[in-house]
Structure 1
Amino acid sequence: MSVFLTGFPGFLGSALVERLLERTDRVDCLIQARYREQAQRRAEQIAGDDWPERIALHVGDITEPDLGLDADTAREIQDRTVETFHLAAVYDLGVSRAVAEAVNVDGTEHVLNFVEGCETPRLHYVSTCYVSGRYDGVFSEADLDVGQTFTNHYEATKFEAEKRVKERMHSLKATIYRPAIVVGDSETGATEKYDGPYGILRFLLCQPRHAVLPRMAGAETYEVNLVPRDFVVDAIEHLSGLDGSAGEVYQLCDPNPPTVAETVDLFANATGRTVHTVPLPRRLVEGSLRWIPGAAALTGVDPDTVPYFSHPTQYVCPNTRRDLAGSCIECPPLGSYVDALVAYLRANPDLRTGAMQ
């Protein structure tokens, strides 16, 4: 028997495979052809020279029916699969609608159909807290469609995908996990790419000791919800092993996140900068980065990340806290690991910024 997983050798998928091998003999991974060599290297790092016996790599594509697998291979995987982890998605805030629909929505529908044909139809689906869109208020694990607006196609299509999962949640014994903004490891700072809040850190590091940042409305009240990769992976591995987790939604977020202003202070201290803020409207900041030639490249700040530093939604996670109780797994506060993130960034300045697609 084995576990089937999409999203290898991605940031979360790779770490999760390593953990899953502690409880299963084999993991069948669906990979894209262009990532075959990267997937083989990562599999060897995880399982050693005999990795083909523990990690099976199947070239396919979630945007295609039957996941792009031939009928015999698909049937063999379905017959031995006891649970499926679906992580593959386009994690790109600037993704086009067509690509986001194909991967995040159609791809999830194809995975649902695949799981339906498994001997054991058990699904673990990784969504995102940002199915909330720009909801002005508290967004709980019981919420999904609350009349929200969406900042980008990533949010909108992950929302649509989660709706598809919800429709078949009980027949497939599905569990939904909603991470907040995932950053590097809380101990080592290690990450796969620099996006989201890393743009602010890189901008601070390229400035002199006295640095300047814009301050947008709501900085004293709006929150920035960051979670380190190891917490997300530990939580998914633990929660997925609970008998009662089928049918549950878990928001993997910081239950006590800092405000935007507090986050800037933590970033300033970690980078050794004294930050002077200048009040500016969000749309002016975003528009300047988007339309002034060279602005985004000069600052290192992606304009698509700006709305997340003026985000009105608060996330709560009672299901997660209840079912992690006694496990010693909890989201560490940003202040306890921000130095590790910056140290890794300083030591690895040329890591890529783009998402795997």
Structure 2
Amino acid sequence: MSSDSGHTQSAPPRTLLTGFPGFLGSALIKRLLDRGDGPIACLVQSQYREQAQRRAAQLTEDGEEIQLYEGDITEPDIGLGDAFDSLTSVTELYHLAAVYDLAVDASLAEAVNVGGTEHVLDVAETLEVERFHYVSTCYVSGRYDGLFTGSDLQEGQSFNNHYERTKFEAEVAVQERMAEGLPATIYRPAIVVGDSESGETRKYDGPYYMLRLLLAQPVACSVLTSIPGASDAELNVVPRDYVVDGIAHLSDHEDTIGEVYQLCDPGPLSVPAFVDALADAAGHRVVSVPGPKSAMKSLLNTLEAGGLPAESATLDYLDHPTRYACPKTTAAFAGTDIECPPFETYVDELVDFVRENPDIRDQAMQ
């Protein structure tokens, strides 16, 4: 075991979290510490240790409330070895670590998203935790044709990519353990973008390919692809702060055990309206070039090979047949100020952040 900056740990950890110092994990851990859920043991891959140390130092003053453990969820006992014995004090486990990459290959997605989740579930049962919190995704729906809620999962759906398929298989594994008695709560965010107030994000993927491709072109005439079915599809996007607020609230209540909550936008924009909102915020005049999906994917692959910000896998979300609803989540947030803001109210912040921070990568770490 190793703790951040080499500090001696003054108290045993109460909470274990995977996915630090990732995009959601870094924001969520601050909320957990503020409400007294520390010390928090964070599982960190060795290549992210220095980044995790810097992030932990930003979040805490004494360096003892965040304790870093080097490990790997793809290994049994999440790669902790003898250090595992020091986690017997843990009563809550938050599992956020995953490969978030639409173009991820099958073997990596299966090792991390499926095998890794199985290993973390084994740890939860070994530690006999009082709560297990799992961050899934609305897109376990795959290409389900219709309305998909938190009550839906195994509907015979097909999948856009290995990311969706393996997150589906991981949630199936979590729900099977829940059925066997694991006290767990599942959170399904839609497509997560930056903070609604600052625009901050750590990774440019998903809708950011569309935005960055737009910004790379002339203001007077920017070309984006369009495919059949896009006018009928919705793009369900949520800002990070809404997701973190939602998980922080739901995880703090015992009556959420055994439930699945979708953290989606109850009033999402259609794909054409989403493109219009991006174009307006960027101040660009956009011309949509329609064509078959296969041809448009080939075009984006060519643009990517030429160094432009393009990812052909994102096209599958422009004719996505699924609509998402979150009645259970809305009911749980009644009486609070937690609600998903309309995309039009924060798109300016997202665009400004991308313009001011052009060098953020699209690496597949959460």
Equivalent residue, structure 2, for 1:202: 212
For residue 60 of structure 1, report the CA deviation from its aligned partner.
0.5
Which of these residues, 297, 305, 308, is aligned with residue 286 of structure 1?
297
Which of these residues, 32, 40, 65, is aligned with residue 27 of structure 1?
40
> Letter of the aligned partner of 2:89 in structure 1?
R
For residue 298 of structure 1, report the CA deviation from its aligned partner.
4.3
Structure 2 residue 265 is the aligned partner of structure 1 residue 254: yes
Structure 2 residue 74 is the aligned partner of structure 1 residue 74: no
Shift of the 262–332 alpha-carbon distance from structure 1 to 2, 3 Å rule, reads same
For residues 213-254 of structure 1, the C-alpha deviation after alignment (integer angstroms, 9 at most, x for no partner) is 222122222000111001100100000011101100011110
Secondary structure of 2:16's match? strand
> Letter of the aligned partner of 1:47 in structure 2?
T
Equivalent residue, structure 2, for 1:239: 250
For residues 49-96 of structure 1, the C-alpha deviation after alignment (integer angstroms, 9 at most, x for no partner) is x11x1000000010111111123x21321x211210000011111111
After superposing the two structures, state which structure 1 stretch, 80-89 or 296-305, moved more: 296-305
Question: Counterparts of 1:303 and 1:288 in 2: how far apart (Å)?
Answer: 8
TM-score (norm 2): 0.93
Which of these residues, 240, 262, 285, is aligned with residue 274 of structure 1?
285
> Letter of the aligned partner of 1:201 in structure 2?
L
Shift of the 297–188 alpha-carbon distance from structure 1 to 2, 3 Å rule, reads farther
> Letter of the aligned partner of 2:332 in structure 1?
D
Question: Counterparts of 1:296 and 1:310 in 2: how far apart (Å)?
Answer: 24
Equivalent residue, structure 1, for 2:26: 14
Indicate if the aligned counterparts of 2:304 and 2:311 stay in contact, CA closer than 8 A.
no
Question: Counterparts of 1:356 and 1:188 in 2: how far apart (Å)?
Answer: 21
Shift of the 296–333 alpha-carbon distance from structure 1 to 2, 3 Å rule, reads farther
Equivalent residue, structure 2, for 1:3: 15
> Letter of the aligned partner of 2:288 in structure 1?
T
For residues 232-281 of structure 1, the C-alpha deviation after alignment (integer angstroms, 9 at most, x for no partner) is 00100000011101100011110000000000110110000111222212
Question: Counterparts of 1:332 and 1:298 in 2: how far apart (Å)?
Answer: 34
TM-score (norm 1): 0.95
Which of these residues, 131, 138, 156, is aligned with residue 122 of structure 1?
131
Structure 2 residue 98 is the aligned partner of structure 1 residue 89: yes
Which of these residues, 20, 37, 59, is aligned with residue 70 of structure 2?
59
Which of these residues, 170, 175, 180, is aligned with residue 185 of structure 2?
175
Secondary structure of 2:230's match? coil
> Letter of the aligned partner of 1:37 in structure 2?
E
Equivalent residue, structure 1, for 2:224: 213
Question: Counterparts of 2:176 and 2:246 in 1: how far apart (Å)?
Answer: 24
For residue 210 of structure 1, report the CA deviation from its aligned partner.
2.0
Structure 2 residue 333 is the aligned partner of structure 1 residue 324: yes
Question: Counterparts of 2:307 and 2:107 in 1: how far apart (Å)?
Answer: 29
> Letter of the aligned partner of 2:27 in structure 1?
A
Equivalent residue, structure 2, for 1:188: 198
Secondary structure of 2:320's match? coil
Shift of the 104–151 alpha-carbon distance from structure 1 to 2, 3 Å rule, reads same
Indicate if the aligned counterparts of 1:296 and 1:303 stay in contact, CA closer than 8 A.
no
For residue 299 of structure 1, report the CA deviation from its aligned partner.
3.7
> Letter of the aligned partner of 1:10 in structure 2?
G
Secondary structure of 2:228's match? coil
Equivalent residue, structure 2, for 1:309: 318
Question: Counterparts of 2:153 and 2:278 in 1: how far apart (Å)?
Answer: 32
Question: Counterparts of 1:34 and 1:213 in 2: how far apart (Å)?
Answer: 36
The root-mean-square deviation of aligned C-alpha atoms, in Å, is 1.3
Question: Counterparts of 2:166 and 2:128 in 1: how far apart (Å)?
Answer: 29
Name structure 1 gaps, 5 residues minimum.
none
Secondary structure of 1:220's match? helix
Equivalent residue, structure 1, for 2:118: 109
Indicate if the aligned counterparts of 1:250 and 1:320 stay in contact, CA closer than 8 A.
yes
For residue 186 of structure 1, report the CA deviation from its aligned partner.
0.2
Equivalent residue, structure 1, for 2:148: 139
Equivalent residue, structure 1, for 2:3: none
Structure 2 residue 54 is the aligned partner of structure 1 residue 41: yes
Q: How many residues align?
A: 351
Secondary structure of 1:92's match? coil
Shift of the 296–312 alpha-carbon distance from structure 1 to 2, 3 Å rule, reads farther
Equivalent residue, structure 1, for 2:7: none
For residue 204 of structure 1, report the CA deviation from its aligned partner.
1.2
After superposing the two structures, state which structure 1 stretch, 247-256 or 218-227, moved more: 218-227
For residue 37 of structure 1, report the CA deviation from its aligned partner.
0.3
Give the % identical residues: 56
For residues 311-348 of structure 1, the C-alpha deviation after alignment (integer angstroms, 9 at most, x for no partner) is 11100011111111111101111000000000001111
Question: Counterparts of 1:263 and 1:135 in 2: how far apart (Å)?
Answer: 21
> Letter of the aligned partner of 1:153 in structure 2?
H
